[in-house]
Structure 1
Amino acid sequence: MAIGEALRWASSFLEERGLEPPVAEWLLRHYYQINRAKLLMILDDKIEPGLFKRLQQDIKRHAEGTPVQHIIGYEEFYGRRFIVNEHVLIPRPETEELVVAVTELKQKLFRQEKISLIDVGAGSGAISVTLALEDETLDVQAIDISEEALKVAKKNADELGAKVRFKNGDLLKPIIEEGIRVEAIVSNPPYIPLSDAPSLAVHVREHEPHLALFGGEDGLDLYRRFMGELPEVLKDKGIVGFEVGVGQAQVVKEMLQTAFPYATTEIKVDINGKERMVFAYGNMTN
């Protein structure tokens, strides 16, 4: 059997089950460790029987609910490969836009000045590691309540050569306990309402950590808690950047306006035009 035939079989298998056909191509590129252009060049080559059997098994695992990222062990984020497993949220493309917006705000407010930034809810380390690598003027720390998640984040930081200090703790408690203040806080916290759980894809609901997905009955529990802790940690001039769920931006913006009445608050839309990022920046006290 040719590689192209194997690809057509796998794509059809997925399509018939309402799943994304490109997963088949992703798996083959992973097996051969090649890019898409190279895969298209070898479609007429024969596929080894053992490799086709592996493809069949992996496609069926995915059809039963296992995320393809867990099958291959990684996800691409900001042009880099991040290890992922069942202990961390799989990085999403829209979170790359949060990273871009934070770096732009940092340049706007602080230019080349070296500042401290905390990523709350480190997960795989996608946000903290990327920020540390993209802007060397950022002194980055990352916090997560899950020790298993921190193991993954540390491994990604080591593999990618990023200088990030990791702390185990609940929200900003480790920083509050140290009595230090920083210029920037960024977070993609759990924001899915518990009532949405039944409607989530099985790949998400049964394979990604609920600790990183759900934010209470209305999805806003973590943002409420942040509002009590942020003033204890931020310096007079600073940045807060959140990713939010669809329909939550205005409420989170109002929370930030109440907590920081002197700051500029702003909602940014993602590439799909959805309000997915909320910021407070500038004078955080008066």
Structure 2
Amino acid sequence: MTLSRRTFLQGAAALPVLGAMPRLATANMALGSATLTTVSDGSLMLPGSFIFDPMPKDELAPILAQYGQDSERLTPECNLALYRDGTNTVLFDVGSGPDFMPTAGTIVDSLDAIGLAPEDITHVLFTHAHPDHIWGLLDDFDEPLFYEASYMMGRAEWDYWWNPETVNTIGDARAAFAVGAKRRMEAIEEAVMLFDDDDEVLPGIAALSTPGHTPGHMAFEVRQGTEAALIVGDAIGNHHVAFAKPGWESGSDQDGITAAATRQMLLDRLSQEQMALVGFHLPDGGMGRAEKEGSAYRFVSA
């Protein structure tokens, strides 16, 4: 099956609206005197082919069975990381907003549940510009929702989506992604701050280039003294196949070969250093650790 925009949208629309009322529970960890929390933006409804199409079906089936994962339907959580150090209140990505999927776009309610309003966010750092990460940028009046925040994005990611040729080269399935990203980026064009790999973008937060899912995808290492966590965005996109077979190409990645190499690098590092990780689409709030099991890995929730 070749994924087109039509098959993607038809597949998602055919799925039952399961869990339309989002789980607002959060996951938390302390990093020195700072705190790292995840806040829910709801969940997605995706056809299994969106990820599984390029994978060998005979080897895939037992892995999905092991994890109780349906091959036809994916309903991943959307977990936005929130970092508070007493000075800055930093949100990583902004979620889907109201225009992507009916089960997503709940970030304002989730923030309210922990006593925060959009104006309390001092900085927004983007991992990348796919719809479930940037379409929540604008409010009902097409103004930035987090209006007191400074916006920051990796230079390579900004340049990719800003390029007028991207909509023509990204493929039919993702053409709307490009249009939607550009419209939202135009709203912050005059104010956005760009950064590069290995830059310390804020005190205690360093950028790490993790390309493949998108050309300029960024992860972030958050560190206070000897305590650290890695916010991986969609560079590790699920808790099953991504850990069991990190070298397999995934249909969700724009460059499957590069994404697989990035995923392997991240899992090697995370398991060796036993560093906490936060994944946008990982379960139970997205926080946990990667444990090595032979040539594979396993996600252990926090």
* TM-score greater than 0.5 by the shorter chain: no
Higher alpha-carbon Rg = 1
Instruction: Indicate the structure whose relative CO is greater, using CA pairs within 8 Å and at least 6 residues apart.
Output: 2
TM-score (normalizing by structure 2)? 0.35
TM-score, normalising length from structure 1? Answer: 0.36
Structure holding more strand per residue: 2
